[in-house]
């Protein structure tokens, strides 16, 4: 994908000529004719580089830079001031307010191109360094939970598995929900309107530090640490921030013994990157022919990501007491993959757990379905100790 450059300049000729020149070099160009418009576009589009004039009527380039650097969404975007102001004091002011480079007009196109290329390359290097640093941190045991379609109980399994692991070990356990705009765990567990994941996805990958991820964790009275997705539907667009996701998961893995990831449904790009980072992958299925077919395709697609199908655990979740549900043997045969566990229908259990804002395993630990969650946790503990 071409790198995007936002040019902010009130000179129409500069916007046109510089934009055309950089476009010919393969960059995607966005333009704004004043400071206010430039700030709005920077927030909306999050370009890879901002080329900024200093002398503009409504808001000068220094003030634009100050505001960009104060906003966590734009704080790390590289800024090159491109201006006719040639005095040393002007350049010093530019660097003091947060500019990364300063180039005076007029300049030869080759010089401008060289500065743009160098500044973008420097940013890519910093991003790569952040990813590499995260990947070398201590690595807890990461479990990814997903399904081929919605409504199968991914969040319920993830939360109760996390609670089961905490119950058995009393170790640090993080329950992480990773689909922004589709968060449900916050409401179910009494911590609505979480912002941590959204803020980490909105910023540059270099901003995804261990400290920021740790600060985004919400302690729950169950003993779990929660990393939650927002409930605002428009935030779903943030799932495109794949590199941020990779670093977030690596950071989470450095903060607890167990990390249970609610990956939602299907295989969007960020899930494709996260699954190979997991020690365990759990897929939920129900005994309905169409769901079984979708799940079979999901497993085949995961194999295409170099994930061994034998490393995938499939759990049959019988959510309702119904004669229409297939027996686990039939599901296993149609799926072409072994079923590791079958969950017994217990709608009353989950209603009470939601009312108490705690995982079902902790609201009624002796319930048959709660015991099934605990057995899943025991199996994972055995594999974690053997790794």
pLDDT tens, 220-272?
A: 999 999 999 999 999 999 999 998 999 999 999 999 999 999 999 999 999 99
206-228: b (≥16 Cβ within 10 Å) or e: bbbebebbbebbeebebebbbbb
pLDDT tens, 106-120?
A: 777 888 889 998 888
Model confidence at 131, pLDDT cuts 50, 70, 90, reads low
Joined together, the tokens standing for residue 165 give: 């692991």
**In DSSP terms, which residues pair with 315 in a beta bridge?**
284, 341
Question: Does 132 score more than 70 pLDDT?
Answer: no
Question: Does 52 score more than 60 pLDDT?
Answer: yes
Give the relative orientation of helices 242-253 and 109-135 as an angle to the nearest 10 degrees. 30
pLDDT tens, 283-316?
A: 999 999 999 999 999 999 998 888 888 889 999 9
Answer with the residue of higher pLDDT: 33 or 87: 33
Nearest to 52 by CA among 82, 97, 14: 82
At residue 160, the pLDDT reads: 96
Nearest-angstrom CA–CA distance, 134 and 138: 9
Model confidence at 92, pLDDT cuts 50, 70, 90, reads confident
Joined together, the tokens standing for residue 57 give: 């009527």
Rounded mean pLDDT of 66-88? 80
Question: How much is the mean pLDDT over the chain?
Answer: 88
Question: Does 129 score more than 60 pLDDT?
Answer: no
Joined together, the tokens standing for residue 86 give: 């040639």
305-324: b (≥16 Cβ within 10 Å) or e: eebeeeebbbbbbbbeeeee
Model confidence at 339, pLDDT cuts 50, 70, 90, reads very high
Model confidence at 86, pLDDT cuts 50, 70, 90, reads low
Nearest to 53 by CA among 33, 26, 74: 33
Nearest-angstrom CA–CA distance, 223 and 217: 12
**125-134, 181-190, 376-385: the lowest-pLDDT one:** 125-134
Going from the N-terminus, what domains does the chain have, and what CATH number goes with each?
4-133 (3.40.50.2300), 138-386 (3.40.50.300)
């Amino acid at each position: 994908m071409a790198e995007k450059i936002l040019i902010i300049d009130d000179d129409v000729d500069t916007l046109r000529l510089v934009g055309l020149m950089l476009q010919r070099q393969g960059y995607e160009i966005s333009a704004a004719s004043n400071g206010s418009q430039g700030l709005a576009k920077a927030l909306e589009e999050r370009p890879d580089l901002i080329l900024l004039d200093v002398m503009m009527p409504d808001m000068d380039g220094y003030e634009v830079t100050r505001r960009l650097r104060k906003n966590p969404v734009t704080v790390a975007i590289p800024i090159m001031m491109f201006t006719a102001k040639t005095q040393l004091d002007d350049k010093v002011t530019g660097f003091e307010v947060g500019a990364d480079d300063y180039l005076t007009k007029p300049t030869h196109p080759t010089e401008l191109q060289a500065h743009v290329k160098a500044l973008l390359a420097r940013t890519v290097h910093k991003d790569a360094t952040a990813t590499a640093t995260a990947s070398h941190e201590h690595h807890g045991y990461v479990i990814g939970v997903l399904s081929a379609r919605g409504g199968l109980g991914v969040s319920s399994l993830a939360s109760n598995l996390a609670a089961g692991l905490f119950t058995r070990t009393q170790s640090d356990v993080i329950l992480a929900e990773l689909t922004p705009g589709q968060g449900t765990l916050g409401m179910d567990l009494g911590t609505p309107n979480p912002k941590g994941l959204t803020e980490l996805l909105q910023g540059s990958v270099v901003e995804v530090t261990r400290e920021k991820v740790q600060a985004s964790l919400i302690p729950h009275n169950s003993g779990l640490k929660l990393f939650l997705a927002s409930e605002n539907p428009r935030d779903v667009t943030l799932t495109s921030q794949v590199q941020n996701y990779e670093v977030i998961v690596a950071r989470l893995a450095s903060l607890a013994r167990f990390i249970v990831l609610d990956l939602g449904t299907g295989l969007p790009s960020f899930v494709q990157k996260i699954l190979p980072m997991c020690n365990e992958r759990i897929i939920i299925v129900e005994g309905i022919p169409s769901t079984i077919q979708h799940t079979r395709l999901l497993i085949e697609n995961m194999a295409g990501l170099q994930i061994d199908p034998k490393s995938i655990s499939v759990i049959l979740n019988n959510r309702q007491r119904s004669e229409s549900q297939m027996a686990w043997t039939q599901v296993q045969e149609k799926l072409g993959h072994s079923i590791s566990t079958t969950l017994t229908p217990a709608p009353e259990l989950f209603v009470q757990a939601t009312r108490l804002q705690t995982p079902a395993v902790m609201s009624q630990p002796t319930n048959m379905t709660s015991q099934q969650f605990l057995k899943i946790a025991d199996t994972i503990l055995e594999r974690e100790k053997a790794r």
